[in-house]
Copies of this chain bind each other. A is one copy, B any other.
Amino acid sequence: MVKKYILTPGPTPISEEVLIEHGRSLMHHRSPEFGEIFSEVSEKLKKLYKTKNDVFVLTSSGSGGMETAITNSFCKGDKVLVASMGNFGERFKKISQTFGLDVIALDYEWGDIVDPQDIKKHLEADSSIKGVMVQFSETSTGALNDVEAIGDIVKDFPAILIVDAISGLVASDLETDKWNLDIVIGGSQKGLSAPTGTAFISISDKAWKMIKKSDIPRFYFDLNAAKKSLEKNQTPWTPGISIIVAMNKAMDLLFEEGVDNAFKRHEALAKASWAGAEALGLEMLVSDPGKRGYSTTAIKVPEGIDGGELTKVMRLKYGVTIAGGQGKLKGKIIRIGHIGYVEMFDLITAFAALEMALNDLGYDFEPGAGITAVQKTLMKNNYLDKAIS
């Protein structure tokens, strides 16, 4: 018997309560019954995003949300500044280029974060820049950008700020309105811990002004159609009904925990995870702890061990699925996701399996050092303390 555990940066584990809602028969997407649920989901997303802006639900992956942001906001030939420090920054570039935008690439090492001052310099030097794109949490490295500081800069320029918060939302505090984030993209299968298949996107007034002028053709992802439908608590096309129903329940659970408590939980899990890796003599991809987010721990695979083999042994022999590296980091790192419906014992399980797989592959370390460090750090920084007291 091998029990299955999933600790990836998405899909994330789904609670029984959410699975049960997800598994129910579908109501019709044009029925008032669904309209009520969709209205609730829209309001809860606004609360989660900390925004007064509309948050639109798309039936697509997060990449569909990224495409939506780009094709709705710009005109062909528009100059955009794309900050990239990983695989999803590269994706922003690729989508922008696909749709004929003039991309200024602001590249950083994979594992580093964006220096907000670099963005300021670019915007000051070129007032024709129409948009700035940046990840909140870069899923491929686990690094977290200071989008508050970036928002504080971009707000004074004509450009809009587009933030991919797909894996960062819920893991760390994000304040859409207070931080002047014009477009924020999220996904159902990350911090929400709902099934895959739905993305969401918030749009500020500043962004709407650009959307009205945009000339890039789009149909399925057209936000004008989405806005018109949202007024009737609908989506323009048939949505992933069961996923939206699941999201509704998932957000109930999140608000029951308290979003701030969820941030503390993710912080505690992330710090325990870093301590576990360190105790095993493993090197972190994001060397500066101040640059790390709380959704994903990216760990360099020790010399002589293949990352693909390591995740394979963990999955097949021990039933624990974690993620490998993406793009140029393929085989070189492993990524432990600790977002969503994940708590302390899941993390200890992940590290226990990691230790056992490392041992199988001949890595030299003190068995138990990782799980002990994880546990000790959790005891020191117990996110349950407040709940119990």
Which A residues are closer than 8 A to B by beta carbons?
A: 4, 6, 8, 10-11, 13-14, 19-20, 22-31, 59-64, 67, 94-95, 98-100, 187, 189, 195-198, 216-221, 237-243, 315, 321, 323
Contacts and interface: CB of A to CB of B under 8 A. Distances in A.
Contact of A28 (B6, B20, B241): B6
Contact of A196 (B24, B67, B239): B239
Nearest to A6: B28
A196 B240 contact: yes
Given A11-B241, A24-B19, A217-B98, A60 B63 contact: no
Contact of A220 (B63, B237, B240): B63
Is the contact region of chain A dominated by helix, strand, or loop, or is it mixed?
Answer: loop
A383 B99 CA distance: 52
Nearest to A240: B197
Contacts of A64: 59-60, 220, 237
A117 to B, nearest CB: 31
A189 B60 contact: no
Contact of A321 (B8, B27, B240, B243): B27
A27 B31 CA distance: 31
A11 B31 contact: no
Contact of A242 (B13, B63, B195, B218): B195
A41 to B, nearest CB: 15
A180 to B, nearest CB: 27
Contacts of A99: 217, 219
B10 A25 contact: no
A62 B238 contact: yes
A8 B23 contact: no
Contact of A237 (B27, B61, B217, B237): B61
